[in-house]
Chains A and B, each alone.
Chain A
Amino acid sequence: MSDADVTADLQRSSGLSRLKESGYAGVFLTCAAITLLTTVAIIGTLLSDALFFFSEVPITEFLLGTNWSPNPRGEGLSFGIVPLVIGTITVTITAAFIALPVGTLTAIYLSEYATKQVRAILKPLLEILAGIPTVVYGYFALVYVTPALQATLFPDLGTFNALSASLMIGIMTIPMVSSISEDAMSAVPDSLRQAGYGLGATKYEVSTSVVVPASLSGIVSSYILAVSRAIGETMIVVVAMGSQANMPQIRETILGIPYINPGDVLFESGMTITVSMVQIAGGDLTGGSLPYDSMFALGLTLFVITLIMNVLSDIIAQRYREEY
């Protein structure tokens, strides 16, 4: 230590270094601002083309029309979203039948029953389910699941069908339900469980009657997120479900009450909102045509639906959370 080092140079904070500091702050702010710009750009791109579309096709016709044929051969263009919505709802509900119960039970097992070691192995393994590329799931559904179902349970299943696509979406969204629900269940304080045991409840009763109600807001918000993911899922349905925008056949019972046979929609090829977007993109990308713009109208619909569901799940998780 020489004497020269001891006298601190406190005047060094020159203009240059101050400029440098604010310069770097500006760079980081720009990076963060790009995330916001992305949202603005998404809304901007979707709106500009969608508004053009809605100036040509009335919005009521788009939302209520029952015929979807954007690539006509001979007949006129028709943009009715109802068959696509029916396809999307079919897939989403069927997938939810797999993902929600399985995911909830998984969360209960992980948070209440599993030992520490089992949890340490099972949790990362479950994440693999969400990490497999969706086009691979679609391939699995088309090449392995559908033939297996045809050979065993449903001999009259079509090559392209909604059922096996939905099964794969269900499997893919299990970890989404299980991990968020498990977080909520783990956040339930142990004192509540102990109180339950103190009253003579069994582990089963504590799990189902204490832990699950106490973490209900988290569980429900995980459901909404999983359903929103299923609605936006594209490649599984594109590969495995085919592309037939059909209205389901409305049958009548003997008493004259109309109903839709689930087999009619599940065992046949169908079309979701996302599939029709991919189908149009396969044909025309240069812009300016009505089918091109309809893609953005569909994208806007999808964006609005998923945004609403996301906000809803957030509100439920925040507002109905039990504070301990």
Chain B
Amino acid sequence: MAVETDTETEFGEVSRLRGAIFEYVSLGASVVGLLALAALLIYVFVDAFGLATASPAWLLTYFLTLVVPYIGFCLYSVGDRAFTRKVALALGGGLVVTAVGFTAIETLVGTIPRLTWQLAYLFLVATPTVASVTFVASREPVGTVGFGLIGRLIGGAALGCAVAVMFIVIDRPLWFLVYTLGVLPAVGVAAYGRRTDFEWTAVAAGVIGLVGFVVATVLRPVVGIYPSDGLIYLWTLGIPLAVGAAGIVWLREASRKRVAAVGGSTLLAAAAGILLGSSALPNGSGVIVTGATVAAIGVYLTEAVDADAGRQGLLLPVLLAVGALAGAAVVQLVGITTPEMWLTPEYVTSAPSNTAAEAGLYPAIVGSIIIIGIVAVLSFVLGVGAAVFLEEYAAGTGLVGRITRLFQINIANLAAVPSVVYGLLGLGLFANLLGFGFGTAVTIALTLSLLILPITVISAQEALRSVPDELRQGSYAMGATRWQTIKNVVLPEAMPGMLTGTILALGRAIGETAPLIMVGAATTVFSAPSGIWSRFSAMPMQIYAWANFPQEEFRYGVVAAGVVTLLIVLLAMNGTAIIIRNRMEREH
């Protein structure tokens, strides 16, 4: 009888324990890196926002006025009793568990530097809860509308700011002439050609644009009087924005009143932007920020108010704004001490300094935006072009086949070349041999474009490969040529995938430091660059420079704020890429 219950059979012992241990060890290994990074991120956030000095009352106030209403909104959007109960349990139970657990660790093991149990609760319980309710709510109509509106608000303003920053290095009067004499007539001719199907208009538009550009460059030194920068922005960007926004609404077949409302409000906002004073952006460029924000919101609103469900979501920005104001009011009235934050609006809009209290990241942010703008154009064009050749023109055999294979192997090897070697390429070729200068935007942008080129090519190739062959065959069957097929069928279909890949690659470029050091980018510049040929700094360069400062305030305050700024920009870029990809997947 005893033999049957014995695990030791003639097949040998079957050890469950060993298997279980192995499973949990490998699970632990999968998360150990993530946990380490999470701990480091918590510390850098605590330092950047000075949360270690935050009083519990301050944390409680904002928790009640911002976080709780936000979670409430998400729960309302989901509208599921069981889910609400689960979230409440997590928040309440988490409070007890963190308070008890944290105190136990502190008494038994030792103090945990710069953390309190309230902060631990904030990061270990509240943040994951907020993330998960956001994720669940984003699939419901109310949440979708609310997050969509917030996204338009932030996205429009951020894009507007980025464009405004790009204009720092552009000669505004020249741009005014080029736009008036070249861009505007060319666009007009092209639009006319679309309506009349006249074959030669594309060529004509190109010629007119080119002539306009040449005339503008000739006229630039001759003409003496130009409108103010604000008016130039309004004429060249504000009005096209308003027309474009109205056009999108019109294409959706909205009523004439709505088209006029969106166009008019965008124009009005852009005009009001002239008056908007700002310490950081150059004079008048508020036009682009307000115009882009209102255009994005307006276009979204005309869509959202007609939706069958989820209109309540439009109140989310109001809810958050009221919450923030209420929190600030309570803090003021009760006299709660506010923590000493490092990452503040002044930090983002002022120049670096040798004293920690005055140090800012503004020139580095401007440098990064301009460099990434140039890199985006260069690497997208080159990456897509190379990918189109490799996927659409390449053959398996013959000379072209051999060339294609060579390109393919070469790209795979380029992707593995260390970034510091690309820095040497930039130094030897662009800075010294071609004389583009040390640390200029041109040198840096060219170097970074070549650095991320393999990544953009590979991701664009994947996007092109995912276009089903039936579409191409269908186009050829209609008598289209190869270029017509690529232009009208393949590229539009692959565009979201290629955009996603390029944005992810740009995320890599924005954090690169080693090549920038090699080509002589400035570690610290005290004012925004004046042109693309002046010496640039960038966010990672500034972090690198500050990390060497021995003072505590720099190490744990100023640099932490810089790191968090960089990470927020990265998060925004990658988030945009993921949203584009998800939308693309939903459409197919």
Contact = CB atoms under 8 A, between A and B. Distances in A.
Contacts of B14: 200, 202
B413 A39 contact: yes
Given A25-B393, A202-B14, A204-B22, A235 B30 contact: no
A108 B26 contact: yes
A24 B389 CA distance: 10
Contacts of B422: 42
B191 interface: no
B450 interface: yes
Nearest to A235: B513
A21 interface: yes
A294 B311 CA distance: 65
A288 to B, nearest CB: 9
B414 interface: yes
Given A171-B33, A171-B37, A109 B517 contact: no
Contact of B418 (A106, A138, A174, A234): A234
B22 A207 contact: yes
A82 B296 CA distance: 59
A143 B420 contact: no
Nearest to A136: B563
Contacts, number: 247
B388 A28 contact: yes
Contacts of B392: 28
Secondary structure at the A interface, as helix, strand, loop or mixed, is helix
A117 to B, nearest CB: 13
Contacts of A207: 22
A35 B453 contact: yes
Contacts of B214: none
Contacts of B483: 20-21, 24-25
Interface residues of B, number: 89
Interface string A118-140: 00001001101101111110111
B97 interface: no
Contacts of A296: 424, 428
Given A143-B556, A202-B14, A136 B457 contact: no
Interface in A1-59: 8, 17, 20-21, 24-25, 27-32, 34-36, 38-39, 41-42, 45-46, 48-49
Given A34-B386, A39-B414, A131-B574, A113 B27 contact: yes
B121 interface: no
B553 interface: no
Nearest to B420: A234
Interface string A193-234: 000000010111001100000000000000001001101111
A303 B421 contact: yes
Given A39-B414, A207-B22, A134 B425 contact: no
A106 B29 contact: yes
Nearest to B18: A204
Secondary structure at the B interface, as helix, strand, loop or mixed, is helix
A133 B513 contact: yes
Contact of A39 (B382, B393, B410, B570): B410
Nearest to B542: A135
B570 A32 contact: no
A135 B416 contact: no
User: Closest 4 interchain pairs by CB?
Assistant: A133-B511, A232-B418, A31-B385, A45-B428
Given A178-B30, A235-B544, 17 more contacts: A28-B388, A32-B385, A42-B417, A102-B32, A106-B29, A106-B33, A126-B30, A132-B37, A133-B570, A136-B563, A142-B547, A171-B33, A203-B19, A204-B18, A232-B417, A235-B514, A310-B413
10 contacts: A25-B483, A48-B428, A105-B30, A109-B23, A109-B29, A144-B44, A202-B16, A277-B424, A299-B420, A311-B413
Interface of B: 11, 14-16, 18-19, 22-23, 25-27, 29-34, 36-37, 40, 43-44, 381-386, 388-390, 392-393, 406-407, 410-414, 416-425, 427-429, 431-433, 438, 450, 453-454, 457, 479, 481-483, 486, 507-508, 510-514, 517-518, 520, 540, 543-544, 547, 555-556, 559-560, 563, 566-567, 570, 574
